[in-house]
Amino acid sequence: MKKLITFLTAILICASASALTIKLATLAPEQSPWYDVIRGMADDWKKATNGEVTVRIYAGGVVGDETDVVRKIGIGTLDAGAITGVGMSDISSEVQAMQMPMLIQSYEELDYILGKVAGKLEASLDSKGYKVLNWGDVGWVKFFAQKKVIYPNDMKDQTMFVWGGDTGVMDAWKEAGFKVMPLAPTDMLTSLQTKKINAFSTSPIAAASFQWFALAPNMSDIKWAALIGGTVISKKSWAKIPEKYKPELERIATKRGLDLKSKIRALEGEAIKIMVKNGLKVHALPEDAIKEWTERSKGAYPKILTTPELKAMYEEVNKYHLEYLGLKKK
C-alpha cells in the first residue's frame, strides 16, 4: 500500500510539474458576455491539452486597468489579456486607427476594414512581443451623461471620463473645448457617485454590465466608434506551450473570438432595452447634430494621430473606408 501511495504521489507531482498555467486578466466582470467567452476558451484549452495548459482568469479589473494589464504582461507577472482596442493601443498605437471617432459607421464596414488591416496590426503587435489570439467586439461607443446631450455644446458643462494614459484622445477633447478627467475604468463608479465626472463614453453592454448607466442615465444614440478588442498573449508565454497543441489552441481562440462578435452584436439592443426598463433615457440625434459631431471629431484627428505609425495606419484604414463607401454605392 505504501508503494502504491508513493507511486500515485509521484504521478501527481509529475503531472503538476508539466502543467502550464496561463494567467489572463480582463476588465470584463463575471457574468458578462465577454467573460463567458473567455471562460469557454479556457475550458476548451484545458480539454484540448488534457489539462497540460490551464488558464487562470482574473476578471473585473482585480489586477488593475488595461494599462496595468499590458504592463504586467510585459514584465511577466501576467501572461495574457482579453483587452479592448484601448489596451491594444498601449502596445501598438496603430490599433487606434480602427477607432477614430465618427469614421466607421456599420459592423459590415468594420468587418471589411479589419479584414484588410488585421494582418498588419497583428504584425505590429508581434514586433512588440505580443501574439494576437483573436479579435472581438466591445460594441458601439455611445455617450452616457447625467444630463441630456444632443449637440457638442451640451457636453461643455460636464466633465467627461477619458482612459488614463490616452493622451491623444484627451488632448482632442480639450482642443474642442471640453472638460475631461483621465481615470482608470475601475474608478468610474466612484467618480460618478462623487460627481468627479458627469459623462463617459462606452458601449451599451459595458454600461449595463458595470452598472455605470444608473449614475449617468442619459444615452446619446450616436455611433461614436466601433470599439474592438481581442485576446493577446506574450510571445514568451506562448513559446512555453507545447508545439503539438498550438494549432488547436489557435483554432479554439479564433472560434471563440467569432462567437463573441455574434454574441455582442445580438445582445447590444437587448442591453439598451434592459437599461431603459431601469431608468435609462435614450436620446436620438437629428442629422444636424450628427453632422456637427462628425465635423468636430474629424477636426480633432491631428491631436489623436500622434505617431508616424498611427498616421500611416489611419491613412490605410481611411483608404478602405472610402473603398467600402464606394462599393456600397454600386
Total-model pTM = 0.89
Q: What is the pLDDT along the chain (330 residues), one digit of tens a residue?
A: 555 444 444 444 444 446 899 999 999 999 899 999 999 999 999 999 999 999 999 999 999 999 999 999 999 999 999 999 999 999 999 999 999 999 999 999 999 999 999 999 999 999 999 999 999 999 999 999 999 999 999 998 899 998 766 666 777 777 777 888 888 888 899 999 999 999 999 999 999 999 999 999 999 999 999 999 999 999 999 999 999 999 999 999 999 999 999 999 999 999 999 999 999 999 999 999 999 999 998 988 998 898 999 999 999 999 999 999 998 887
Contact between 29 and 17 under an 8 Å Cβ cutoff? The reply is no
* Longest Cα separation, the chain: 83
pLDDT at res. 6 = 46
Contact between 215 and 192 under an 8 Å Cβ cutoff? The reply is yes
CA gap 308, 104 in Å, rounded? 21
Contact between 80 and 200 under an 8 Å Cβ cutoff? The reply is no
pLDDT at res. 16 = 44
pLDDT at res. 97 = 96
Q: Give the list of residues 6+ apart from residue 296 with CB closer than 8 angstroms, or none.
A: 152, 176
CA gap 107, 261 in Å, rounded? 10
Q: Return the axis-axis angle of helices 107-127 and 308-329, rounded to nearest 10°.
A: 150
Question: 9: domain range?
Answer: 2-329
pLDDT at res. 163 = 79
* Residue located via cell numbers 512581443: 129
Q: How far does CA 185 lie from the centroid of its chain?
A: 12
Q: Give the list of residues 6+ apart from residue 2 with CB closer than 8 angstroms, or none.
A: none
CATH number for the domain harbouring residue 290: 3.40.190.170
pLDDT at res. 42 = 98
DSSP secondary structure letters along 159-184: EEEEETT-HHHHHHHHHTT-EEEEE-
pLDDT at res. 171 = 76
Residues in the chain: 330
Q: How far does CA 235 lie from the centroid of its chain?
A: 20
When divided into structural domains, the chain yields a total of: 1
Kindly state the DSSP code that residue 27 receives in the 8-state scheme. S
pLDDT at res. 17 = 44
Q: How far does CA 256 lie from the centroid of its chain?
A: 15
